[in-house]
Chain A
Amino acid sequence: MGFEFKGSQSASQLESFSYDDAIVRKFFWATLIWGIVAFLVGVILAVQLAFPQANIIPQVAFGRLRPLHTNAAIFAFAGNAIFTAVYYSTQRLCKARMWSDTLSKLHFWGWQLIIVSAAITLPLGITQSKEYAELEWPIDIAIAVVWVGFFGTNFMMTLVKRRERHMYVALWFYIASLVAVTILHVFNNLWVPVGLVQFLQTGEFGSAETIMKSYPLYAGVQDAFMQWWYGHNAVAFFLTTPFLGLMYYFLPKAANRPVFSYKLSIIHFWSLVFIYIWAGPHHLHYTALPQWASTLGMVFSLMLWMPSWGGMINGLLTLRGAWHKVATDPVLKFFVVGITFYGMSTFEGPLLSVKTVNALSHYTDWTIAHVHSGTLGWNSFMTFGMLYWLAPRLFQTGKLHSEKLASLHFWTGTIGILLYVISIYTAGITQGLMWRAFDESGQLMYPEFIETVTRLIPFYWIRAVGGTLFLLSACLGGYNLVMTWKARPKKYEVPVHEAPALSKEYDDGPPAVSRLTSNAGIGHAGDRFLQGHWHRRWERLPVRFTVWVVIAVGVASLFEIIPTFLIRSNETTISTVLPYTPLEVAGRDIYIAEGCYNCHSQMIRPIYSETQRYGEYTKPGETVYDRPFQWGSRRIGPDLAREGVTNPNSAWHYQHFENPQVFTEGSIMPSYKHLLKGELDFGAIQPRIRALAMVGTPYGEAVKSAEPMARSQAKRIADDIRTQMPGVELPEDLENRKVIALIAYIQRLGTDIQATPEQIELRKSEGAGQ
């Protein structure tokens, strides 16, 4: 017995087929393993913040490890969970095996290889420094090949070759994810590889570090805009839409009843796809981004409330009449709490996009709590619910090893999440309020930034405990799933199904006929349109449907991107702002490699408490040579946009990098003494300047003689340190150490708008532009 012949499908001969569950099992295990890795790295990071002495090895210090955690959580854990859901549900919803087993395997192994590449390169400091897009250009290309070439082709061809006429709404969400992530990934990763420039110009390949390095085509405001257009929509189309597809498929299965309202799911889908893409600029409120873009992002973020809550309500009401099962079924427990967290996160997201709320929340731990309620509560719990539902079916055991253990996993995980988010919400709001507090005389109540750091340490410890509980709960889940797998049969049985192929000729039924009696032609046309035959055609035509999704995503993107790139006022030029000198470029790349942007912003907002604390607010024209931009998104440490103005002392920075606690008692910044020992590769500077010149930075003489210019500036700074630290034994070749380049960069920050003619001349002589 196969699938029942339905409706107007062709009466052609039944075809036999089986599903490829072997690939689902592979992604299943990858999800579990990478999930535990991501949670473990998260716990290490939490401890490093509360106890900075835990930053022992430079390669796994907080700045380098944090991107590894986010990438592991998003692309390794959530990514493999998405693929598990897609490969299982797509085959069944299409009544077809995946189009190509070879592409399925290439997709699986290619994706795991990308994850391993990330795990190697990020601790080595090979990064683009764009959040959730840190991976360097060779890995970016691999992602595009695996995502579009292997996964995309296989998925779309399965849709084309399907045996079920209608595409269920879960498939729509998968299509949107596939299309949008492709667009986002490609346009946020347009770069010039330094090694390629060097090879084309000199015929030499350069060092491994040079080969891996790239600079983005965008700079400053445009780079920030593109990054957060990407960053926000990575959350939308990687952590939301595919998980909604998962919800719309696996929740009805687990509850054994259809989704509450299929009509609502259609509204949910189109509204979400159309609105989400506009909302990115809310990550850049009160920054140097144009106000119109910021407001546009806020308004569309607020509108997201409607479809998001429509989806949540649709999910929860699917359990109507089945709530009694939630008390006993661990799968439903995970789903119910997961969907509830979806509702809370999607309520909080628009709230945080309101400018006045954002003025308080931005750069604080509030954002961290928000993203963790989403990833731990929504993504992780939906994933674990799915894994528990799948395990007995994929391993053909008929039941889980232990439902009690699954419930214990659920409760431990829930308590872990609550400890995490409540403590970090408290920390974030405390932090934001302390930054903006004034005393009776109108002075900052907490002028020393460290006061706002030490106040948070107890919350950081509670977060570490919550994270550890969540990690332990995942390990319990892992044990339960492994024990379930151990009870598998010696050989998996592969059910054979039957269904008729879709006929090429499809009768849409008679064309819509107007039901109106008036003689107005437009009225008849309107009535025919409203009967929706046209949309029903789209819903069974995957390619046409995909084109409309591309249009929905593309229109919104272009409306925001084109003005940002074309309007001159976005790139107000400031005559005293010059490109970075070759040594400063080298220092900037060290700043990026060490992940300093994970703790320090470089964007002073035009808010009184900020200008009082850090100095003059940041102008768009100050960052026109920033490739990539370094505005940051978080202030674990103070903003550095005017560090060169407020703290120009070379010796101070030298000693501070060696031991931050010497100057700031209670500082949680790790020591960077390895930079005091490491030698700077002066030979790698020239190709970097050439690459920057290629993307439009107006370098003059430095295009040919960057290295001697860098050496000259390094000697000046090293001599400066020797003069400021008399009697202290310093390395003889101090000017060759990495820390000198980093100091050069830090000393430059924020100084351009007040640069004197003498400073400008000195900078030009050291290679800063024409």
Chain B
Amino acid sequence: MRLTDIMSHMALSVWAEIAMVIFQIVFVLVVARVLFAPRAMVERIASLPLEDDGDFSLFEEVE
């Protein structure tokens, strides 16, 4: 029996259901990670774009 035969006789709706279960597991994991993330760390990361330019006191003419 080939894989094609097995697939052809499967109840196809189960694929959509498995997909939903996989998504829900992933979603729960992500939400859990978010809920338990340390507040200080999250605030520090969220501010990264605001601190990334540093200052412009050290200028060097290159071009």
Interface on A for B, CB 8 Å cutoff? 1-4, 6-7, 18, 22, 89, 92-93, 95, 164, 166, 168-170, 248-249, 252-253, 256-259, 262-264, 266-267, 270-271, 274-275, 278, 290, 292, 295-296, 299-300, 303, 491-498, 529-532, 535-536, 552, 555-556, 559, 562-563, 566-569
Q: With the chains together, A552 CA to B26 CA distance in Å?
A: 9
Q: List 8 A-B contacts (CB under 8 A).
A: A1-B54, A266-B33, A267-B34, A290-B12, A296-B19, A493-B60, A493-B61, A496-B60
Given contacts A18-B60, A494-B61, contact A270 B26 (CB under 8 A): yes
Minimum Cβ distance to chain B for residue A121 (Å): 36
Given contacts A18-B62, A495-B54, A495-B58, contact A252 B49 (CB under 8 A): yes
Complex contact A292–B42 (CB within 8 A): no
Contact of B59 among A22, A169, A303, A494 (CB under 8 A): A494
Minimum Cβ distance to chain B for residue A499 (Å): 8
* Further pairs besides A262-B46, A275-B23, A563-B12: 18, Cβ < 8 Å: A1-B54, A3-B54, A164-B48, A169-B45, A256-B50, A258-B43, A259-B46, A263-B35, A263-B37, A270-B26, A271-B27, A278-B19, A292-B15, A299-B16, A494-B62, A495-B55, A496-B58, A536-B37
7 closest A-B pairs by beta carbon, nearest first, are A92-B52, A262-B46, A566-B7, A292-B12, A258-B46, A532-B33, A535-B33
Q: With the chains together, A257 CA to B12 CA distance in Å?
A: 49
Q: With the chains together, A225 CA to B58 CA distance in Å?
A: 55
Given contacts A3-B51, A495-B54, A566-B3, contact A271 B30 (CB under 8 A): yes
Complex contact B45–A274 (CB within 8 A): no
Which of B41, B48, B59, B61 has the most A CB atoms < 10 Å from its CB?
A: B48
**B31 surroundings in chain A (CB, below 8 A):** 267
**B27 surroundings in chain A (CB, below 8 A):** 270-271, 274
**A536 surroundings in chain B (CB, below 8 A):** 37, 41
Q: With the chains together, A25 CA to B26 CA distance in Å?
A: 40
Complex contact A303–B23 (CB within 8 A): yes
Given contacts A7-B44, A274-B23, A566-B3, contact A22 B63 (CB under 8 A): yes
**B5 surroundings in chain A (CB, below 8 A):** 568
Minimum Cβ distance to chain A for residue B40 (Å): 9
Minimum Cβ distance to chain B for residue A289 (Å): 12
CB < 8 Å A-B pair total? 145
Given contacts A263-B42, A563-B12, contact A495 B52 (CB under 8 A): no
Q: With the chains together, A569 CA to B49 CA distance in Å?
A: 52
Complex contact B22–A555 (CB within 8 A): yes
Complex contact B45–A170 (CB within 8 A): no
Q: With the chains together, A422 CA to B21 CA distance in Å?
A: 39
Q: With the chains together, A566 CA to B63 CA distance in Å?
A: 59
**B50 surroundings in chain A (CB, below 8 A):** 252-253, 256-258
Minimum Cβ distance to chain B for residue A364 (Å): 28
Complex contact A532–B32 (CB within 8 A): yes
Complex contact A262–B42 (CB within 8 A): yes
Complex contact B61–A93 (CB within 8 A): no
Interface residues on B, range: 35 or more
**B44 surroundings in chain A (CB, below 8 A):** 6-7, 166
Interface of B is mostly: helix
**A266 surroundings in chain B (CB, below 8 A):** 30, 33-34, 37
**A532 surroundings in chain B (CB, below 8 A):** 32-33, 36-37
Tell me the nearest residue of chain B to A21, going by C-beta: B63
Minimum Cβ distance to chain A for residue B22 (Å): 7
Complex contact A563–B61 (CB within 8 A): no
Q: With the chains together, A270 CA to B55 CA distance in Å?
A: 34
Minimum Cβ distance to chain A for residue B63 (Å): 5
**B3 surroundings in chain A (CB, below 8 A):** 566
Contact of A168 among B35, B49, B53, B61 (CB under 8 A): B49
Q: With the chains together, A566 CA to B37 CA distance in Å?
A: 43
Complex contact A1–B55 (CB within 8 A): yes
Complex contact B32–A296 (CB within 8 A): no
Minimum Cβ distance to chain A for residue B61 (Å): 5
Given contacts A2-B54, A300-B19, A556-B19, contact A249 B49 (CB under 8 A): yes
Given contacts A535-B33, A559-B18, contact A493 B52 (CB under 8 A): no
Tell me the nearest residue of chain B to A396, going by C-beta: B56
Contact of A567 among B7, B41, B53, B62 (CB under 8 A): B7
**B55 surroundings in chain A (CB, below 8 A):** 1, 495
Q: With the chains together, A435 CA to B5 CA distance in Å?
A: 41
Complex contact A253–B49 (CB within 8 A): yes
Complex contact B42–A274 (CB within 8 A): no
Q: With the chains together, A530 CA to B28 CA distance in Å?
A: 10
Complex contact A1–B58 (CB within 8 A): yes
Given contacts A92-B52, A494-B62, contact A258 B8 (CB under 8 A): no
Minimum Cβ distance to chain A for residue B30 (Å): 4
**B10 surroundings in chain A (CB, below 8 A):** 563
Minimum Cβ distance to chain A for residue B57 (Å): 6
Complex contact B48–A166 (CB within 8 A): yes
Minimum Cβ distance to chain A for residue B47 (Å): 5
Tell me the nearest residue of chain A to B45, going by C-beta: A166
Tell me the nearest residue of chain B to A170, going by C-beta: B49
**A535 surroundings in chain B (CB, below 8 A):** 33
Q: With the chains together, A555 CA to B27 CA distance in Å?
A: 15
Given contacts A267-B31, A275-B23, contact A563 B15 (CB under 8 A): yes
Q: With the chains together, A6 CA to B51 CA distance in Å?
A: 11
Minimum Cβ distance to chain A for residue B31 (Å): 6
Tell me the nearest residue of chain A to B31, going by C-beta: A267
**B51 surroundings in chain A (CB, below 8 A):** 3-4
Q: With the chains together, A266 CA to B41 CA distance in Å?
A: 13
Given contacts A1-B54, A303-B23, A531-B36, contact A93 B49 (CB under 8 A): yes
Tell me the nearest residue of chain A to B56, going by C-beta: A495
**A6 surroundings in chain B (CB, below 8 A):** 44
Q: With the chains together, A266 CA to B34 CA distance in Å?
A: 7
Complex contact B42–A495 (CB within 8 A): no
**A552 surroundings in chain B (CB, below 8 A):** 26
Which of A262, A296, A568 has the most B CB atoms < 10 Å from its CB?
A: A262
